[in-house]
Amino acid sequence: MREKHPLSGRATSIDLASERASFADDLGYYLTLQPRQLPSRYFYDALGSALFEAICQLPWYPVTRAEKGLLERYSSDIVGHLDPLSTVIELGSGSGEKLGLLIDAGRISQARLTVHLVDVSPTALAAAADALSRLDATTVIMHRAPYEEGLARIASRPRGGGRALVLFLGSNIGNFDPPGAAAFLRGIRSSLTAGDALLLGTDLVKSERELLLAYDDPLGVTAAFNRNLLVRINRELDGDFDLDGFAHRAIWNADQSRVEMHLVCRRTQHVTVRAAGFDFTMAEGESIWTESSYKYRPDDARAMLVRSGFEVVDQWIDGGFALTLASRSA
């Protein structure tokens, strides 16, 4: 059975209206904090998702290539730890390519497999569903939802034996601050049963030069990805950000072990976000903090999992990236 367009994957106009309302609420809160901020989850509208896919192909952004290389080489080892594997849940499905790699390289029996894709982006879900449509013996279920909500829905479904593997790849964990990451991992753990596992992808600390090139690339794709947040606000919430008046800046915060992205105001401007019902003045040099990408040492990733109640099974490292497999023991 293949649920091509399950109910949980369909966006209704009510969803869209309430999403816009919470976008407006979030802006009213985060844009008036000092320093001003915008949550990075809002990067991923259709254009933002396409720009992110382009970033993954940049020679200066090694994350995706390194992780795919690890999956190609070690999927059979990963799957070997999880026999019999019956369910794979990918949080933040992206293009679905990595999941396909795991299934192929791990020689997972497609007929006995159920795949759940959880993503807030309808564009990402559509791309993933397309990439996985070749697995016609596998049941693919899409959940257009935030991760926690998707996990809760999946956990409440009956599962016919076999182990579950949750994939949280691409260093998406890097967008959480340390307490947030621990809480999130504990949430994943509580949705699993004994014997189930989590495969976590984490980008590793490397030289400042390499890190800054990855987040401030010479083609300006990451700058476009960052500024698109303002484009989105202007379009969806009737904002009037002067795009030209903002510069992309990436900095390496060594104390906090994170790359930060900011939008720095080049000249004082008054901004109105009409549909969110607020306005403010931004001074020259003031900035909006749009993203944190935490970087880890291999031991940090393991310790974070242990603190969240997991048992580390194995870890694979190459190209400045780590895949860590952890299980829920009881």
Binding footprint of ligand AVJ, residue count (CB under 6 A): 12
Shortest CB 56 distance to ligand AVJ, Å? 8
Cβ neighbours, 10 Å, residue 163: 21
Is 95 near ligand AVJ (CB under 6 A)?
no
Three-state SS sequence of 220-246:
CHHHHHHHHHHHHHHHHCCECCCHHHE
Among 31, 38, 51, 55, binds ligand AVJ (CB under 6 A): 55
Token reading at 205:
């600390």
291 belongs to the binding site for ligand AVJ (CB under 6 A): yes
Q: Please give the residues from 225 up to 254 whose contact with ligand AVJ meets the rule CB under 6 A.
A: 225
Buried b (16+ CB within 10 A) or exposed e, 239-265: bebeeebbebbbebeeeebbbbbbbeb
Does 9 interact with ligand AVJ (rule: CB under 6 A)? no
Q: Among all residues, whose Cβ is closest to ligand AVJ?
A: 293
Stretch that binds ligand AVJ, among 79-87, 134-142, 172-180, 228-236 (CB under 6 A): 172-180
Query: Is residue 316 involved in binding ligand AVJ (CB under 6 A)?
Result: no
The reply on whether position 201 binds ligand AVJ by CB under 6 A is no
Task: Compute the radius of gyration of the chain from its Cα atoms.
Answer: 20
According to the binding rule CB under 6 A, does residue 128 interact with ligand AVJ? no
| 39 closest CA partner among 311, 298, 319, 229 | 229
Alpha carbon distance 245, 314 (integer Å): 47
DSSP class of 10: P
Q: Which of 168, 172, 114 is nearest to 291 (CA)?
A: 172
Nearer to ligand AVJ, 23 or 321 (CB): 321
The residue among 216, 295, 258, 244 whose CA lies nearest residue 55 is 216
3-state secondary structure of 203: strand
Residue closest to 133 by CA, chosen among 107, 110, 160: 110
Closer to ligand AVJ at the Cβ: 233 or 259? 259
Q: Is 64 in the site for ligand AVJ (CB under 6 A)?
A: no
Pick from 87, 95, 121, 172 the residue near ligand AVJ by CB under 6 A. 172
- Among 9, 48, 150, 174, the residue binding ligand AVJ under the rule CB under 6 A is 174
Q: Tell the smallest beta-carbon distance from residue 292 to ligand AVJ (Å).
A: 8
> In the complex, which residues of this chain contact ligand AVJ (CB under 6 A)?
55, 63, 170-172, 174-175, 215, 222, 225, 291, 293
